[in-house]
Chain A
């Protein structure tokens, strides 16, 4: 990797785009050009579809793409987390087989980590992978896998060694989702949507070369994936609309995004829709009710303070200062905000809070808020797990005494379901 100035990078990408960008290309054809040139993932290594540029240069490249409204690589779902994990832990064969088709969008991926019996205690999972003859045979059930019914491939965390302590007995695999031993069923949520799947694996086969890393390294590798999940959370959230335009490539991108985003239409509602509160209060006349005004004010103070806290964290990061406690609090804060918002929406709506769909306020959006907010304090790490993390990492309080680590998993009481 050679040192390059921002101006050089900008000039290079600009020249390449001038030569290659054409909105009348097909989406996959264009993304193959991106994969060949490395401009789709400038911070990736140059031998694997990148240019080996420092991470800080990626926004410069992105700006140039935006300037001429050029479409980027595919980003939906867990593909970028999988790609980052394979780049770090995969074999050359894995990278050659999967990375390009991840970027072009030709392959879709899902993550097979959580189980009905292992949510917060992920390392207690009991899906079994056994070596039978020349392959791995997988049996077990996974849950909360987004888009598993449409995925070509899955990254799978399964137990390969039952005599090892829980974290050491896990291995990380790539599994072919199209085989008969893998069945994905939609899982309906309390808000009526079905954004995730349950996945049942019955004697599903995994060839030996689809083990990622070494046997028993599964936990460490899954940690890489989860770390990228947190790191990417911000950038993935902004990716919701696509570039937009009449030419062929824009249409194809819009279609891709619409399909990928369909399961998430309720996500804004689960955060509580604080943005709707004042307008709703005004429209219903409840803005004049002093009790409701107090509750609105409490909500606004909390949500604004949470926003400012996040900005303090970002500012510290930009200044290169050590991260203070403000950085780890966002998730917990958003749970409080969402719950308070649901409470306020209920006060504002009164009896209408009983009604959903076309009969409900805001064409059912309020009902969807009330029925989606409970997910906020669970998904992506429950509030209880967040409080553990905050108290242990930030406040340096000791871990709760554990009875499950350091002993063979066989001897540990298994997680129960339900």
Chain B
């Protein structure tokens, strides 16, 4: 299907020297056999490019500015991220105008975005929608959508969950009949701003789950932004009333959607690992400038020991996230278990890191002015997005035990 399936997968990447100069040139580098446990030099260079970009475009001032808007992102930054860095097409095969990278590189991008808390429809469009099309779309649908998704000129999202808040395609109730959808989708990431919505729906009552494309302006579609705990990630509720929709998958898209959501969960796990790292850094930095009782609070063992535990938490989270990304890139048989292990482990770690970061800041950590709550809220939404930690632990057990 894509370069992912080639046994000798090659890396195509050359770090752009600052300033970012057009689309990234592609070079070939041998994949290291130990890639599950260390990144290649090329991947490290790629991380630096992404880091630099986010350093310039996603300060906490930027995050605060964007989270107050309805769409939740800066169109200029999106254009640069798509055009100059080519990130929107990161995992899209080259034949569809993408970069043809895999889940490890996607993990790197997500980790850095989690660290910088970038406000952009990357997860909805470049991850959820793109992976859903890649894993379950027909050739025609891929031809139609992927080039524009890759270039960033089209922003799409994926709508699976309904009232029950389950992302398991088996739980989908919405019915497609006569080329139209009727019903409700909830928790749709960037659902209020996406231009195309890919919707999981059943072909008649009790029928197979297929993937349907709905234009944002379609008749009978009502979109409502949900009031969210995490303003850096916009969610919407979508009401469909005989809304025209096009089937973009084969008759049974369930397996493809499960795989797409699994890969998205791994991407989210990497984002959480990056968020947890940001919380650790923030906590340590603060304890090394805050003076109480005549000394830096970072010199008290009560504080140091919490930070050491936090470091352990973060490194274990990274290991789980990296390992799962590598398993996804190599289509490892253990992918289902590893994806769930990473999702459960990292979302717990991110949450704990955010809680500890607030605690280590003391009173100011509970204020709006201080930045920790921005990550705390993302940690909360990532904790339950695509399934709670307990749900994923149970899935993991079903595959491992």
The residues of A with any CB-CB pair to B shorter than 8 Å are 278, 281-282, 287, 290, 293-294, 296-298, 300-302, 304-306, 308-309, 311-312, 314-316, 318-319, 321, 325-326, 329, 332-333, 336, 384, 386-388, 390-392, 394-401
Write the nearest CB–CB distance from B383 to chain A, whole angstroms.
15
Write the nearest CB–CB distance from A391 to chain B, whole angstroms.
4
Given the known interface contacts A278-B401, A306-B316, the answer about A399 and B299 at a Cβ–Cβ threshold of 8 Å is yes
B37 touches A400 (CB 8 A): no
Chain A residues lying within 8 Å of B287, measured Cβ to Cβ, are: 397
A401 touches B34 (CB 8 A): no
Complex partner residue of A293 from B301, B323, B393, CB under 8 angstroms: B393
- In this complex, which of A300, A302, A318, A384 has the most chain B Cβ atoms within 10 angstroms of its Cβ? A300
A333–B323 Cα gap in the complex (Å)?
17
A391–B301 Cα gap in the complex (Å)?
9
A394 touches B394 (CB 8 A): no
A312 touches B37 (CB 8 A): yes
Contacts beyond the supplied A305-B319, A391-B307: 5 A-B pairs with Cβ under 8 Å: A301-B344, A309-B318, A314-B37, A384-B301, A400-B299
A395 touches B308 (CB 8 A): yes
Given the known interface contacts A297-B393, A314-B37, the answer about A400 and B300 at a Cβ–Cβ threshold of 8 Å is yes
B307 touches A315 (CB 8 A): no
Write the nearest CB–CB distance from B301 to chain A, whole angstroms.
5
B299 touches A401 (CB 8 A): yes
Given the known interface contacts A309-B315, A329-B315, A397-B288, the answer about A294 and B37 at a Cβ–Cβ threshold of 8 Å is no
User: 3 closest A-B pairs (Cβ-Cβ)?
Assistant: A297-B393, A391-B304, A315-B37
A329–B288 Cα gap in the complex (Å)?
22
**A-B contacts, 12 listed (Cβ < 8 Å):** A278-B401, A293-B393, A297-B397, A305-B317, A305-B345, A308-B322, A318-B34, A326-B319, A329-B315, A388-B305, A398-B298, A400-B300
B368 at the A interface (CB under 8 A): no
A401 touches B284 (CB 8 A): no
Chain A residues lying within 8 Å of B323, measured Cβ to Cβ, are: 304-305, 308
A63–B287 Cα gap in the complex (Å)?
50
Complex partner residue of B394 from A287, A293, A336, A400, CB under 8 angstroms: A293
B394 touches A387 (CB 8 A): no
Write the nearest CB–CB distance from A377 to chain B, whole angstroms.
12
Chain A residues lying within 8 Å of B312, measured Cβ to Cβ, are: 329, 332-333, 336, 390
Given the known interface contacts A301-B393, A386-B308, A400-B299, the answer about A309 and B38 at a Cβ–Cβ threshold of 8 Å is no
B344 touches A297 (CB 8 A): yes
Given the known interface contacts A387-B304, A398-B298, the answer about A300 and B38 at a Cβ–Cβ threshold of 8 Å is no
B390 at the A interface (CB under 8 A): yes
Given the known interface contacts A294-B390, A297-B394, A401-B299, the answer about A391 and B305 at a Cβ–Cβ threshold of 8 Å is yes
A391 touches B308 (CB 8 A): yes
Query: Closest residue of chain B to A392, judged by CB?
Result: B304
Complex partner residue of B301 from A305, A308, A329, A400, CB under 8 angstroms: A400
Given the known interface contacts A329-B311, A395-B311, the answer about A311 and B37 at a Cβ–Cβ threshold of 8 Å is yes
Given the known interface contacts A278-B401, A293-B393, A395-B311, the answer about A388 and B320 at a Cβ–Cβ threshold of 8 Å is no
Complex partner residue of A294 from B34, B317, B345, B394, CB under 8 angstroms: B394
A325 touches B301 (CB 8 A): no
B317 touches A395 (CB 8 A): no
Write the nearest CB–CB distance from B269 to chain A, whole angstroms.
11
Query: Closest residue of chain A to B319, judged by CB?
Result: A308
A203–B304 Cα gap in the complex (Å)?
43
Write the nearest CB–CB distance from A312 to chain B, whole angstroms.
5
Chain B residues lying within 8 Å of A301, measured Cβ to Cβ, are: 320, 341, 344-345, 393, 396
Write the nearest CB–CB distance from B389 to chain A, whole angstroms.
9
Chain A residues lying within 8 Å of B300, measured Cβ to Cβ, are: 400
A397 touches B401 (CB 8 A): no
A190–B114 Cα gap in the complex (Å)?
46
- By secondary structure, the B interface counts as helix
Write the nearest CB–CB distance from B311 to chain A, whole angstroms.
6
Complex partner residue of B396 from A300, A332, A333, A398, CB under 8 angstroms: A300
B344 touches A390 (CB 8 A): no
Write the nearest CB–CB distance from A14 to chain B, whole angstroms.
28
B320 touches A398 (CB 8 A): no
Given the known interface contacts A391-B304, A397-B287, the answer about A312 and B38 at a Cβ–Cβ threshold of 8 Å is yes
B295 at the A interface (CB under 8 A): yes
A312–B303 Cα gap in the complex (Å)?
27
- In this complex, which of B288, B299, B344 has the most chain A Cβ atoms within 10 angstroms of its Cβ? B299
A300 touches B400 (CB 8 A): yes
Write the nearest CB–CB distance from A147 to chain B, whole angstroms.
33
B296 at the A interface (CB under 8 A): yes
Chain B residues lying within 8 Å of A384, measured Cβ to Cβ, are: 301, 305
Given the known interface contacts A297-B393, A301-B344, A387-B309, the answer about A308 and B320 at a Cβ–Cβ threshold of 8 Å is yes
B319 touches A298 (CB 8 A): no
Query: Closest residue of chain B to A312, judged by CB?
Result: B37
Chain A residues lying within 8 Å of B344, measured Cβ to Cβ, are: 297, 301
Query: Closest residue of chain B to A391, judged by CB?
Result: B304
Interface digits, B264-283 against A, CB 8 Å rule (1 contact, 0 not)?
A: 00000000000000000000
A282–B304 Cα gap in the complex (Å)?
41
Given the known interface contacts A387-B308, A395-B284, the answer about A302 and B316 at a Cβ–Cβ threshold of 8 Å is yes
Query: Closest residue of chain B to A307, judged by CB?
Result: B319
Write the nearest CB–CB distance from B173 to chain A, whole angstroms.
25
Complex partner residue of A308 from B37, B303, B305, B397, CB under 8 angstroms: B37
A296–B303 Cα gap in the complex (Å)?
30
Given the known interface contacts A293-B393, A395-B284, the answer about A390 and B341 at a Cβ–Cβ threshold of 8 Å is no
Chain B residues lying within 8 Å of A278, measured Cβ to Cβ, are: 400-401
A394–B311 Cα gap in the complex (Å)?
9
Chain B residues lying within 8 Å of A290, measured Cβ to Cβ, are: 394
Chain A residues lying within 8 Å of B341, measured Cβ to Cβ, are: 297, 300-301, 304-305
A296–B288 Cα gap in the complex (Å)?
38
A318–B37 Cα gap in the complex (Å)?
11
A92–B305 Cα gap in the complex (Å)?
44
Given the known interface contacts A293-B393, A293-B394, A397-B299, the answer about A387 and B305 at a Cβ–Cβ threshold of 8 Å is yes
Chain A residues lying within 8 Å of B316, measured Cβ to Cβ, are: 302, 305-306, 309, 333
B311 touches A397 (CB 8 A): no
- In this complex, which of B284, B301, B308 has the most chain A Cβ atoms within 10 angstroms of its Cβ? B308
